[in-house]
Amino acid sequence: MATKKITTMSTTYPCKYCNKEFKRENSLAVQLCEKKKRWQAKVEKGPRIGFNAYLKFYQYTQNSTKPKTQMEFIKSPYYKAFVKFGRYCADINAINVDRFIEFVIKKNKKLDYWTSDALYTEYLNVLLVTENPIDTLTRAIKHSMKWAEQNAADSKDMLRHGNANANCYAISNGHVSPWVLYNCNSGIAFLETLSRDQTEIIWDFIDPSVWSGKFADYPTDVKYIKEMLAQAGW
């Protein structure tokens, strides 16, 4: 009489991130593949901005009506490039990140170029002359409050007593706008103290020929900004 051979099916545990199979469940639990690391990092600021940029990219360029998922993002061959962009935005404290993302997409720039300082400067020069003046005022006040906390000083004195190079940097990255500089006593006084080299660094952002016309077109906004800054002691 022939003996029947009994076969058994071995159970495996696949990783939902990389699809690798493990013989033991605890091995699966402790394994840390690259895509699992990406999933765990999704709450960090850089990856969050990168994922948002990824969603908008497919929305605008592929006419995608079905939003991409987080899992699709971490498995995408473009994950690293989008996260690099997200971390760049976080590192430079980019202004109005959603609008910056839309700007680089509509400019049809290659993804690797999205972290270019020259591209961000181009974006800022467009943003600063088109955004709501109240947004620029709010941003400058917040920046001055942060400066005050770090220097045990009064926020209204940032342009009076703050480091000139640091203030120039704040101007060149958009945190202190010409809407503020040209419409308060401390801003005008600050500009008058700058060296030639410092002025050259920020010139593209404060060009008087651009801003005099801007202020002439929006006298009501100018009056409001001046009043708010005067009340704040600027």
For each of the chain's 234 residues, which pLDDT tens digit applies?
A: 555 555 555 677 677 766 676 666 565 656 667 788 888 888 999 999 999 999 999 888 887 678 889 999 999 999 999 999 999 999 998 999 999 999 999 998 889 999 999 999 999 999 999 999 999 999 999 999 999 999 999 999 999 999 999 999 999 989 999 999 999 999 999 999 999 999 999 999 999 999 999 999 999 999 999 999 999 999
Q: How far apart, in whole angstroms, are the C-alpha atoms of residue 90 and residue 61?
A: 24
Continuous segment of H or E residues that includes residue 22: strand 21-22
Pairing of strands 21-22, 13-14: antiparallel
Q: How far apart, in whole angstroms, are the C-alpha atoms of residue 113 and residue 124?
A: 16
Q: How far apart, in whole angstroms, are the C-alpha atoms of residue 43 and residue 75?
A: 16
What pLDDT score does 56 carry?
A: 93
Q: How far apart, in whole angstroms, are the C-alpha atoms of residue 71 and residue 176?
A: 38
Of 161, 135, 137, the residue nearest 148 (C-alpha): 161
Predicted TM-score of the model (pTM): 0.78
Q: How far apart, in whole angstroms, are the C-alpha atoms of residue 89 and residue 44?
A: 12
Q: Look at the block and give the residue holding tokens 């394994």.
A: 31
DSSP letter (8 states) at residue 177: -
Q: How far apart, in whole angstroms, are the C-alpha atoms of residue 120 and residue 98?
A: 13
Tokens at 87, concatenated: 């971390």
Of 98, 103, 102, 158, the residue nearest 125 (C-alpha): 103
Question: What are the residue boundaries of the structural domains of the chain, listed by start?
Answer: 34-127, 132-231
Tokens at 43, concatenated: 């709450």
Cβ–Cβ < 8 Å for 76, 91: no
What pLDDT score does 40 carry?
A: 87
Q: What are the φ and ψ backbone dihedral angles of 21, each rounded to 5 degrees?
A: -100, 140
Q: How far apart, in whole angstroms, are the C-alpha atoms of residue 58 and residue 90?
A: 22
